[in-house]
Amino acid sequence: MTDPAVALFVREPFPSVSTGTSVDGALVDTRHPVEVVSEMDDGGVVFGDGIEGDRLDFGWGMRLRVEVAEQRLHLVRA
């Protein structure tokens, strides 16, 4: 059995003059959820599966919490 964890990546970390980019990824485990607050004036989005069509708008001041779910996904090869 392996430790439950989720890798979080910022696909296009855009450094602005006022905010910079101090985080471009994180390892999220059961003890360390990650909270993100948007500082994007316009056009910020989040998506969890790499498919931009499933995106959610993530504008200024919105908060996102990423944590490991209690229920696990099990992949089965046929």
**Interval 33-61: pLDDT, tens:** 888 888 888 888 888 777 778 889 999 99
Average pLDDT over residues 8-26: 74
Domain boundaries, the chain: 5-66
Assess whether pLDDT exceeds 90 at residue 62: yes
Assess whether pLDDT exceeds 70 at residue 1: no
Query: The tokens of 76 are what?
Result: 């089965």
Residue whose token pair is 């056009």: 43
Distance, in Å, from the CA atom of 61 to the CA atom of 72, rounded to the nearest integer, reads 30
Quick one: which of 65, 64, 76, 67 has its CA closest to 32?
Answer: 67
* pLDDT at res. 63: 95
H/E element holding 49? none
63, HSE (Cβ side, Cα atoms, 13 Å): 4
